[in-house]
Amino acid sequence: MIFDNYSFETFKEQSVDLIVDLVNTRNPIEDMDAITTIDGLAQFLSEHPATNDGSMGGLGRPSASDLKAVRRLRSELREVFHAADEDEAARLVNAILTNAGAVPRIAFFEKTPHLYFETDSKRLARRLAAIAGVGLVEVLVDGGVDRLGTCCSEVCVDVFVDTSKNKSRRHCSTTCSNRQNVAAHRERSRAKKKS
């Protein structure tokens, strides 16, 4: 298989973005969920380069069972972010790849061979899982389980992949880290006034 249009780096980044965005479509704290309907799922897929460039092999419009399966995959992906250690993360990722019927393949990106995953399944969630597998394996093998983070804001449980140099990232976004900074500042001012 030849991916003419982009590099393997891009492919991996798109896979990681897809994983993070898919998990974050659900915010249990605010009871929000962007993919409760087939339309919501179709919209999500159309917004992601990893799934809107034809790589889904013309699966067509998602079905109700696709929706259910993608929501299940989303929970499985979140579990990987909550894994206690490398062993657990590896076990969870291996299960996701096995369930998807994903097999390792060599693909040529800009004439250079790379390992990625593919499934013969016509099921949308399995295709998604195979795409996600590339990003998950990349992060875990190259970066370690510490790279998989969950926002430490009290009002957010969004996940992220920590690409900082010293694995110091604690929030999903600048919105959350700013909010936390403001709260900490207020707390300090209050403590000062009391003393």
Residue 173: burial class (beta carbons within 10 Å; 0-12, 13-18, 19+) = middle
Q: Which residues contact 67 (CB under 8 A, 6 or more apart)?
A: 35, 37, 38, 41
Residue with smaller CB distance to Zn ion, 124 or 151? 151
Quick one: 13 or 158, whose CB is closer to Zn ion?
158
User: Quick check: 156 binds Zn ion (CB under 5 A)?
Assistant: yes
Choice between 22 and 176, CB closer to Zn ion: 176
Any residues with CB less than 8 A from the CB of 116 and at least 6 apart, and which? 8, 11, 104, 105, 106, 107, 134
**Calpha distance 9→86 (Å, rounded):** 23
172 binds Zn ion (CB under 5 A): yes
Q: Is 119 in the site for Zn ion (CB under 5 A)?
A: no
Q: Does 176 bind Zn ion (CB under 5 A)?
A: yes
How many of the chain's residues bind Zn ion (CB under 5 A)? Answer: 6
Residue 191 structure tokens: 């403590």
Query: Is 100 within 8 Å of 129 (Cβ atoms)?
Result: yes
* 20 in contact with Zn ion (CB under 5 A): no
158 binds Zn ion (CB under 5 A): yes
- Choice between 74 and 127, CB closer to Zn ion: 74
Q: Which residues bind Zn ion (CB under 5 A)?
A: 151, 153, 156, 158, 172, 176
